[in-house]
Structure formats: structure tokens, C-alpha cells
Amino acid sequence: MPITTRRAALAGAALLAAPRLAHAFPDRSLRVIVPWNAGGVTDILARSMAPAMQAALGQAVVIENRAGANGGVGAEAASRAPADGHTLFVSNADTHAINPFAFRRLPYDPAADFAPVSLFARVPFALMVGPSQRGVTDLAGLLAVARAQPGRLSFASWGVASASHLAMERIARAAGVEMLHVPFTGQAPGMTAVAAGQVDAMVLPAGGAEALARDGRVRVLAVTSAERLALMPDVPSLRQAGVDLVTGNWFAFHVPARTPAPVVARLSAVTAEVLRQPQVAEIFRQQATTPEATTPEALGEFVREDRQRWGEVIRAAQIQLE
């Protein structure tokens, strides 16, 4: 058979095999790698989606927490998984937009090692204080304490150069104050430290802050969305409180690069289907997050634009980690 004919035959066979591959997928349980500790909003949202994903795909969906290195530990594990669609990675601004600029060397390449599947949530932040700052009732009061004690008022984050860290640094810079950064390996440990009075403040997903404030352990001073949130209507936005900043995070599904396109398309469609489920939507509402599905192509473009935005922030903050 001539070479050109053989190539055409192989290409035709691949096209015929693609629908069969998508139809056969999945043929075993799926693993969803969450690059943070259990108990944070990333983990809560992923676990809320797992039962509906399992029903749609007909296979077990197992959540695996791999925390460390601002999401880098989980990202590396996911990037090395077989490219067959049975491993999904919960990505966000930290893993795919911030880390490439913050770390001198990464054990994974967000652009080359992953294929986009779908966005699934947009997440506003909130600024909260714990019992160590019981006298602080608003953002102006917190900034007054910081000005009076430069470098002593402490704030938690879920990692150096994380979206949480950078958001608080931007607030401090805008207000002209200096604070002490105390990084943790995830959202939940940082929340616990603030609620226990071991650290003064934290910027974190708004739903987590609201849950702690509801039982009186912390006070929420501001949200980072453009407007007030329905979940906390009495809490002003940063802009309303005097700091011109709107920020937050997002969560998405990525799979290892070279995962077959029909499999990626199936996972993207399932994500959109899952986000329409009332029980999933209710948990997202409780976490003050907005469910949003996209095509793989739209997610790819979204991440490229977000990477450019965060790159400017990190260069301005002069953060460079090994």
C-alpha cells in the first residue's frame, strides 16, 4: 500500500475509533485529584459533584486530596497520570495562573501537561478576623491596628503566593500597611488557626468565612466581589469599605494532556449536566460560589487571560520561590 494511502487509512481508522472510545469511556472508576486538604471550599465543591458525576458516568468517582506547594503536589500527580480521562484535576488560579510566575521551577507545566475540560465555579473571597482581634468591627479598624503595629498583625493563607496570600498583600499595599504572613498548606488549617485566635485574619472563599461567622467564631469585615453577596447582605464589599479591589478565584477540571478529544468532550458535557442538579446548586449557593460550565476551548482561553492578570500581580509583588 502506498504511504499516502496507508496514512489516509490510519487517519480514517482513528476517526472511526473515536466515537467507540467515547462510548466505552469510562470503563473503571474515576479519580478526582483535589490539590488541597479536605474541608476547604475546593474539596467541598468537588465532593458535592461526585455523586452526580458517578450517576452520569456509571462508574465510581473517588476524591483524592493531594495538598502541598500551593497546589503543585496535586498538579504534578495529575500531570503524570495516564491520559485516558480516568483522572481529573481540580485546577484553579493558584495551580494554573499563579504558580508559573511565583515558582522558579515547577514540576509540571500548566499549559503543556494538561488539557482543559470545563470551568465549574467562580468564587468570591471574604476578609475575616478571629477572636484575637475581637475589638475590630470593620475594615477601617483592622487597618488602624495594622498601622499602629507595623508587621505584627498576622494573616493566614493557604500557601505562599496563593490567591489568598496575594489578595491580602494587595489589600495591605492599597492601604499602605504592613502585615505578617502565616502560610498554611490549605484553606481549612488557616481557618482553624484564625478561629482559634492563633492568627489574626484571613482572606478566603466567602462561603467558608460565612460558616464560621454564623456560629460566632469570626467576624467578616468585607467581601472581594464587586457588590455585596446574597449570602452575607450586611457585609460591605472592599470597594464600599474604602479599598478599590475586586478579586476571587475559580475552579475547573483539567485532564492530562493528550487525553482523547471525545473523552474530554464527554467529561465537559457531564460537568454541565452535574451543575444543573438542584442538590449541587444548593451546596454551591451555601459556599457563595457561582456554578459555571464552559467548553474546553473557552476554558483554555479563560486560563490564558487569567495567567496574564496574575503574572502582573506577582511581578509587582516581587515574589519568586524555589
Beta-strand (E) ranges in the chain? Answer: 30-34, 61-65, 87-92, 114-129, 154-157, 180-183, 201-205, 219-223, 248-256, 290-291
Task: Answer whether 119's CB lies under 8 Å from 252's CB.
Answer: yes
pLDDT recorded at residue 21:
54
pLDDT recorded at residue 319:
87
pLDDT recorded at residue 35:
96
What is the number of other CB atoms lying within 10 angstroms of the CB of residue 225?
Answer: 21
Cell of 60: 465510581
What domains lie within the chain, and their CATH numbers? 3-123+248-317 (3.40.190.150), 124-223 (3.40.190.10)
pLDDT recorded at residue 23:
63
* 97 DSSP assignment: I
pLDDT recorded at residue 17:
46
pLDDT recorded at residue 231:
93
Block mean pLDDT (10 aa), the chain, length 322: 46 47 84 95 97 98 96 98 99 96 95 98 97 97 97 96 94 94 94 98 96 95 96 96 94 98 98 98 94 98 95 88 83
Handedness of CA 224, 312, 79, 164 (dihedral sign): negative
pLDDT recorded at residue 16:
46
pLDDT recorded at residue 20:
53
